[in-house]
Amino acid sequence: MQRDRNHKNWQGWGLLLGIGIVLTTRPALANSWTPLVHTTYMHLFLGNLIIGYIEGSLLAKWFRLPRFQTVSTLILANYTSAWGGMLITVFIKSGITFLTIENIHIWQWIFAIFMFLVTLLIEYPFFQISLRKQSEATVKTVKSLLVIHGISYLLLAAWYVAQSQTSMLTQLERVPVDTLDLPGQYQLYFKSSDGVQTMQSNLTGSNIKSISLADFQTQQLTIPKEPHSPDRRLIRRGQFFDQPILKLAEDSDWDFYIRYLQGRGIAGLRNRELGQLEFEFTLETPFAHWPVRHATHLPGDFVVFQLGDDQICILHPHDRLIALVTRGREPFVVAAGDEP
């Protein structure tokens, strides 16, 4: 009878997990179902069940503990640490404003170490409850937690790393914007990071000045609608939803795209008939999912775009260079001769 009751309890948990997966993955599917998104949901809903089962079985075997109670406790520990860690990560990221393409490669490792320590603290009480009747319970709790959770965290971290997309960090060189040979006949318009103030500057982000919303909107009216033309759409499998980037470089044989179903990175090719992408730069990790938005292709094959929430960057794909121009959002570029 006890076994039947336990079986029904597991069925109930499975049903709840299934409902949770369906309800919470719908927004992700509506945006982009990338490998990292899939990994995150697998970890949050199903992975913790598997990890907790393995950890609990090991702990029960090592210290001759009741298996069902120990496994149940560590499954709860893993769900608590995973969801608690996720909420802590979201809270911390919302309060940090200094992260940019220039420093995220360092801070990602700092965040990973910090989250390991946080999850240790969260799971410690659960290990302690399981080992409370053991002699030298505190010592055994610390040792078993470091070994068991340490191994599972490293394996989980390796899984996340394998599913992350970091080509924007690993394949591009970060340089100061004033070292780029930018076309000088263009003006950059954008909004401040909070979206309140409208701004104007040159392409290097210097000579920034505030302008009225009316002037900003007037300049927006000069933006061509060319990127929506059907002849620039890619129709090969996996590329149908790639968004052509506004092209002001009329003599360039390059076409650039935002990959909406591939982490919203930036990609380019020179032969639309073949549809073979020659590069793709994306940044999607657990600590930095920064999609590309509001991009403009300039002469010299430079691309001005918004990265993440409020970074305005310039990319030169051929030389594999990227530079942070300034902080802001919704950038667009207007040729000096096109200004009203």
What would the pLDDT profile of 58-83 be if each residue is shown by its tens digit?
999 999 999 999 999 999 999 999 99
Write down the pLDDT at residue 230: 52
* Residue ranges in the chain modelled with pLDDT below 50: 1-31, 227-228, 237
d(CA 40, CA 43): 5
- The pTM of the full predicted model, rounded to 2 decimals, is 0.82
In sequence order, the 6+-apart residues with CB closer than 8 A to the CB of 40 are 286
Task: Report the C-alpha gap between 234 and 239 in whole angstroms.
Answer: 6
Assign 246 to helix, strand or coil. strand
Helix (H) or strand (E) holding 312: strand 311-316
Residue whose pair of structure tokens reads 């919303």 in the numeric block: 213
| pLDDT reported for residue 168 | 96
Instruction: Render pLDDT for 230-274 as a digit per residue (tens, 0 to 9).
Output: 555 555 545 556 888 999 988 888 989 998 877 889 999 887 666
CA distance 186 to 49: 55
Question: What confidence score (pLDDT) does residue 89 get?
Answer: 84
What CA–CA distance (Å, rounded) separates 298 from 336?
A: 13
Distance CA 282, CA 268 (A): 12
Long-range CB pairs of 232-239, under 8 A, 24+ apart, other chains included: 232/272, 234/272, 234/275, 235/275, 236/275, 238/262, 239/275, 239/277
